[in-house]
Amino acid sequence: MTAKRVRIREVAARAGVSVGTVSNVLNHPEAVSDRTREHILGVMAQMNFVRDASARQLRVGKSQTVGVVVRDLSNPFYMELARGIEDRLAQDGYLMMVSSSDEDPARESRFVRLFAEQGVRGMLITPFHNTSEQIGLLKALQIPVVLMDSISDEAKSVSVDHIDGAKQAITHLLEQGHRRIGYIAGPMSIRPCWERTEGARQAITEYGLNVDEVLVTTILDVLSADAGQAGMAALLNQGPITGIFCVNDFVAMGALRELRNRGLIVPADIAVIGYDDIVFAREMTVPLTSVRQPMHQLGGTAVEMLLNPTQGTDHISFQPQLIKRESSLLTRY
């Protein structure tokens, strides 16, 4: 049997005060004396009173909930991004509702519509594909939106300079003496993946070498450890390589698994670099060199842009940083 929700008027009757006094305790506690406030809060606790957020939203005309759609919640990158969002929202008393698109455009679009139907205060999205239709819907409903890890002419956005991040990774391998480098890339339809590919190519060109002679690329449809293992196998089957750059750390974990299965030693046989610098990167048997993104700061800044749309610029870009660890540090080349 479902328990009946306790109403404000029932709390008022039990406490022997007016409904207005109970309402003040909830919304304007400074207007109630300490003694009365503590008495009413005690009655609320006894009666298991929980305020009805939907009813409050109807009264004040503004939700305290922000909808968040990320690509893949199983990836620690997005978990840390979500934590940055949550921490900043909590400062202003907002609640986060989060879902994963699983890199499925239809699923992404469905969640955007569901959140819009819930009347969220705003939306934060890491887009998997062109989001023009979703942005248009949210604008028509006057729901502010900020895109994360993306750049857009249609909405405010925060991003990371992935071209520079990839250049740092490839330049590091080149400086270590590697001249045959494998690159396990992601779908070119995803902007960060495209930018990392562009950065890798630029680094080789700026180093004065021929991209086609140095870089051996395989492109994954999904960014998972299993896909990374398959991508690593595909690269090794194309001939000898001495260094690997992976589009993210999950993919790098799969690549390392394949190298272990083949009896290859990192970095003695092959140097490996990932991207994102998730928490597991430094805890691996051979600590993983990775390009660090300011994930927590990225999420917090997106919230700031969402809640204060008239302040600041329409786009903010962060710089990544290559964190060098044992998986790529070798001097014999």
Could you tell me the pLDDT band of residue 61, with boundaries at 50, 70 and 90? Answer: very low
Q: What is the three-class DSSP state of 200?
A: helix
Is 56 a domain residue?
no
Instruction: With respect to residue 1, please indicate whether it lies within any of the assigned structural domains.
Output: no
Are 278 and 309 part of one and the same domain?
no
For residue 255, being part of any structural domain is answered with yes
Q: Could you tell me if 124 and 238 lie in one domain? A: no
Residue 12, domain CATH: 1.10.260
Total domain count for the chain? 3
Query: Tokens 């994930």 identify what position?
Result: 295
Residue 250 lies in a domain: yes
230 phi/psi in degrees, rounded to 5: -65, -40
Encoded tokens for 62: 């503004």
Q: Is 50 helix (H, G, I), strand (E, B) or coil?
A: coil
Q: Could you tell me if 178 and 261 lie in one domain?
A: yes
- Give residue 56's pLDDT: 52
Position 310 confidence tier, pLDDT thresholds 50, 70, 90: confident
Residues 184, 283 within the same domain:
yes
Domain-embedded: residue 57: no
Q: Residue 15: inside a domain, yes or no? A: yes
Tell me: do 32 and 112 sit in the same domain: no
Q: Which residues contact 233 (CB under 8 A, 6 or more apart)?
A: 258
Give the structural domain span for 80: 63-160+296-318
| 223-251 pLDDT tens trace | 899 999 999 999 999 889 999 999 999 99
Q: Could you tell me if residue 141 is inside a domain?
A: yes
The model's confidence at residue 62, banded by pLDDT at 50, 70 and 90, is low
The answer to whether residues 140 and 97 belong to one domain is yes
Residues 155 and 169 in one domain: no
Is residue 170 domain-shared with residue 289, that is, in the same domain?
yes
Q: What is the pLDDT of residues 8-18, one digit of tens each?
A: 888 899 999 99
pLDDT range class, residue 153, cuts 50, 70, 90: confident
* Same structural domain, 170 and 252: yes
Residues 74 and 177 in one domain: no
- Between 133-142, 162-171, 225-234, 302-311, the lowest mean confidence (pLDDT) is in 133-142
pLDDT, greater one: 7 or 179: 179
CATH number at residue 77: 3.40.50.2300
Question: In this structure, is residue 3 part of a structural domain?
Answer: no
- Residues 216 and 309 occupy one common structural domain: no
Same domain? 167 vs 271 = yes
The mean of the pLDDT values for the chain is 88
pLDDT, position 312 = 74
Beta strand ranges found along the chain (DSSP E):
65-70, 95-100, 122-125, 145-148, 156-160, 181-185, 215-219, 243-246, 271-276, 289-292, 315-318, 321-323
Residues 6+ apart with CB under 8 A from 221: 187, 227
